[in-house]
Amino acid sequence: MAQNGTRATGPRCIALVGPFQSGKTTLLEAILARTGAIQRQGTIDAENTVGDASKEARHHKMSVEISVASTSFMGDAYTFVDCPGSVEFVHDMRAALPAVDAAVVVCELDEKKVPQLQLILRELENQKIPRFVFLNKVDKVDSTIHDVLRVLQPASRSKLVLRQIPTFSGDIVTGFVDLALERAFVYKEHAPSEVVPLEGDALDREKTARFSMLETLADHDDELMEQLLEDIQPPRDKVFDDLSKELREGLVCPVLFGSATRTNGVLRLMKALRHESPGVADTAKRLGVKGGHPVAYVLKTINTSHGGKMSVARVLSGKIGDGTTLLTSDGEAGRVAAVFKLMGQQSEKRGAAEAGDTVALGKLDHAKTGDTLSDSQQTHSPLAKVSPHAPVLSIAVAAKERKDDVKLGQALAKLLEEDPSISVVHNAEAHEVVIWGQGEMQLRVATERLADRFGIATASHKPTVGYRETIKKGIVQRGRHKKQSGGHGQYGDVVLDIKPLPRGSGFTFSEEIKGGVVPRNYIPSVEAGVIDALKHGPLGFPVVDVAAKLIDGSYHTVDSSDMAFQLAGRLAIHEGLPQCQPVLLEPIYQVEIVCPSEATAKMNALMSGRRGQILGFDTREGWDGWDVVRVQMPESEIGDLIVEVRSATAGVGSFTFKFDHMAELMGRTADQIVAARKAAAA
């Protein structure tokens, strides 16, 4: 167990997280290069980085899943989990976080990205993950870097402490002073920074900045507070101990900076991780691991293109090797076929994994992302439960070739296994397979994977909206089916009293037949015919909220049959409904949008453009500076709502929705919908 003053031991697992495109994958590359795991530092543009090695990530030049790579630094093993920054792939990050020792939050000095940073920090705060901030791209910033705390602090609930201050040549950051070490360094491109004398203006700034770092630390350390008040220089070790302890307890969040593309500040970051980040013992304690026997957490499931399944898992206790049989919390997980070390998409067999190691376990057929694994002696209660965010966008997909229909179902099941923030719904009525997810890019990547990895070409389109129709007035309608052709004839004759029902009632059928004018055994036939006819009303949609009462009819002893009465029932509906003022019904949903307060007014405008009805505004509980907007809006308008909500909120706004009621729709919009339906049916 790591104590004050002692470094944590065992292999570490560190997440690289942060807003979209802040440089996480590039930082992973820089770390791997600086620590000697790779010979040459690749770049995103050259498409040769260890992370983002999948075809889809390369193609879009963004992370679309986590990348995992291991290295060693000063004799310790480290595995980094590079997480996507896009909100659409955030589930990959959220599911990976529980088992990491700490996170490095890679960010930029950009006010516009602060809301995204806040979302990510919130996730870390909620999961109690100790976190460093790494302010990246200092090669691009100017003197605004002095504003770093003012800009970033609002995103964090715990206090940010500057661990370093920049030194300049003109407006360009050329190095830094480490405030704990009290040493100045100048950057060297793709080489370790060089120590230089700390003097002049830099020394003065160092004194002030160091004092303010110590003041922050002293908020949680009375002894240090006394030393500061009495003007006693605290020993350097004490400062390091405090930094480490307060980081682990989530009281402070140290801020370091550098440039991933130039490998600047990377060694300092590694040293901070080495000395200050907690290790597996702390993490096992945080998660409540009952140790002594093998326990691991699955942070990602990968179905490789050659068909093998791999579960990326952090071992939190015990030892897991080839042939170990593992259990999930509620059943068998499978037998480990092999243990792999990961280097992005490359995997290499290795020996048994021990507490702290993050490895890929081959062929655990029944293990899912988020599962807690233990050996066959004893199941372990789930260490964490991370439910995906509710989906916000959908597309309907179909295999371009009929022969791929079955394969499509199997491939989708695998995609879902890898990314549980995707779900699939079969719309039997519209004969559609609908994929639900977190945004356009995620769904695009899903269809690209279907093609690249599973060889299934698909076509996609907007999913069918669940329109219905009903009638505004009633009618008494006769339906008579009579055919005399050659031998056996067909005869069925019914009179239906058709009436509208209140909204949400569905369909009722009743009868008031006197004197056996329609024989008992044919009454269900009439009902079946009516139900069948209601599947397509005069406007082309299923008919709801209608009552049909069979009140009269006649029969023929020889020619009447089940079929003849079914047809008679259908006829009565087909002929009757067009005279009943049919009207279109559209599904209305209750939508709850969450957004930073400054975007609330924009939501208002957005809603009125989408036939939304605002029900109310509220502040979002537990979220300073955020609002909740409650709206009712038609399903057809929710289709791509997320795209606009995100663009109005720098990517952080979101919503949930649930069906509320069906509402009548008339006028031009209704006419267009009916015309489109007719055209599609023709």
Ligand X SMILES: Nc1nc2c(ncn2[C@@H]2O[C@H](COP(=O)(O)OP(=O)(O)OP(=O)(O)O)[C@@H](O)[C@H]2O)c(=O)[nH]1
Least spacing, CB of residue 82 vs Mg ion, in Å: 6
Residue 137, binding choice from ligand X, Mg ion, none, Cβ under 5 to 8 Å by partner class: ligand X
Contact status: 174 vs ligand X (CB under 6 A): no
Give 63 or 490: the residue with its C-beta nearer to Mg ion: 63
Determine the size of the site formed for ligand X (CB under 6 A): 23
Shortest distance (Å) from residue 648 CB to Mg ion? 25
With beta carbons less than 8 A apart as the criterion, state whether 280 and 290 touch: no
DSSP-derived 3-state class of residue 92: helix
CB of 16 to ligand X, least distance (A): 8
CB of 48 to ligand X, least distance (A): 12
Q: Answer yes or no whether residue 393 interacts with ligand X by CB under 6 A.
A: no
Binding at 20: pick from ligand X, Mg ion, none (beta carbon under 5-8 Å per type): ligand X
Which one of ligand X, Mg ion, none is in contact with 261 (Cβ closer than 5 to 8 A by kind)? ligand X
Kindly tell me the burial class for residue 225, based on how many C-beta atoms sit within 10 Å of its own C-beta (0-12, 13-18, 19 or more). Answer: middle
Does 23 sit near ligand X (CB under 6 A)?
yes
- Which of 41, 49, 54, 63 touches Mg ion by CB under 5 A? 63
20 binds ligand X (CB under 6 A): yes
Beta strand 309-317 pairing with 358-362: antiparallel
Q: Is the dihedral of CA 526, 528, 534, 538 positive or negative?
A: negative
List 63, 263, 311, 525, residue binding ligand X (CB under 6 A)? 63
How distant, in Å, are the alpha carbons of 65, 407, 442 from that of 457?
22, 11, 17
Nearest to 553 by CA among 518, 512, 511: 518
79, 193, 261, 438: which one binds ligand X (CB under 6 A): 261
Task: Give the span between the Cα atoms of 273 and 163, in whole angstroms.
Answer: 13
- In the Cβ-directed half-sphere of 490, how many Cα atoms lie within 13 Å? 12
CB 545 within 8 A of CB 501: yes
CB of 445 to ligand X, least distance (A): 12
> In the complex with ligand X, which residue's Cβ is closer, 20 or 436?
20
Q: Is 267 left (phi over 0), alpha (psi -120 to 50) or beta?
A: alpha
Take residue 200 and report the two structure tokens written for it: 């002049």
Which one of 12, 131, 137, 414 is in contact with ligand X (CB under 6 A)? 137
Cα 320 from Cα 296, distance rounded (Å): 9
- Residue closer to Mg ion, measured from CB, 63 or 116: 63
Q: Can you tell me which of 62, 446, 593, 645 binds ligand X, judged by CB under 6 A? A: 62
**CB 305, CB 56: distance < 8 Å:** no
Query: With CB under 5 A, what is the number of residues at the site for Mg ion?
Result: 3
Least distance in angstroms from the C-beta of 144 to ligand X? 15
How many angstroms separate the Cα of 109 from the Cα of each of 144, 229, 262? 8, 33, 17
User: What's the closest the beta carbon of residue 390 comes to ligand X, in angstroms?
Assistant: 22
Partner touching 110 among ligand X, Mg ion, none, CB below 5 to 8 Å by kind: none
| Contact between 245 and ligand X per CB under 6 A | no
Residue among 48, 71, 369 nearest 57 (CA):
48
Residues 22-61 binding Mg ion (CB under 5 A) are 24-25
Q: Tell me how far, at minimum, the Cβ of 449 lies from ligand X, in Å.
A: 17
* 53 in contact with ligand X (CB under 6 A): no
- H, E, C per residue of 466-491: CCEEEECCCEEEEEEEEECCCCCCEE
Stretch of residues binding ligand X (CB under 6 A), selected from 19-27, 397-405, 529-537, 599-607: 19-27
105: Cα within 13 Å, side-chain hemisphere:
26
| Cβ-proximal residues to 629 (8 Å cutoff; 6+ apart), any chain | 592, 593, 594, 595, 600, 603, 604, 607, 614, 616, 617
Give the separation between CA 253 and CA 247, rounded to whole angstroms. 6
**Which of these segments, 136-144, 239-247, 422-430, 459-467, binds ligand X (CB under 6 A)?**
136-144
- Is-contact 67 47, C-beta < 8 A? no
Closer to ligand X by CB, 136 or 560: give it.
136
Residue of 541, 539, 606, 531 whose CA lies nearest to 565: 531
**Interaction between residue 260 and ligand X (CB under 6 A):** yes
Residue 25 vs 347, nearer CB to Mg ion? 25
Nearer to ligand X, 9 or 21 (CB): 21
In the bound state with ligand X, the residue whose beta carbon lies nearer, of 258 and 576, is 258
Residue 54 engages ligand X in binding (rule: CB under 6 A):
no
Question: Which one of 97-105, 133-141, 515-523, 634-642 is the stretch in contact with ligand X (CB under 6 A)?
Answer: 133-141
The CA-based angle 313-315-321, given to 5 degrees, is 90
Shortest Cβ 84–ligand X spacing (Å): 5
- Distances in Å between the Cα of 604 and the Cα atoms of 65, 659, 661 are 34, 21, 22
Q: Residue 92 and residue 65: Cα distance in Å, rounded?
A: 6
- Asked whether position 166 contacts ligand X by CB under 6 A, the answer is no
Does the footprint of ligand X cover residue 263 (CB under 6 A)? no
Specify the residue, 63 or 525, whose C-beta has the smaller distance to ligand X.
63
442 is an interface residue for ligand X by CB under 6 A: no
Residue 513 identity (one-letter amino acid): I
44 binds ligand X (CB under 6 A): yes
439 binds ligand X (CB under 6 A): no
Q: Which does 34 bind (CB under 5 to 8 A by kind): ligand X, Mg ion, none?
A: none
Q: Which residues bind Mg ion (CB under 5 A)?
A: 24-25, 63
Q: Which residues bind ligand X (CB under 6 A)?
A: 18, 20-26, 43-44, 62-63, 84-86, 106, 136-137, 139-140, 259-261
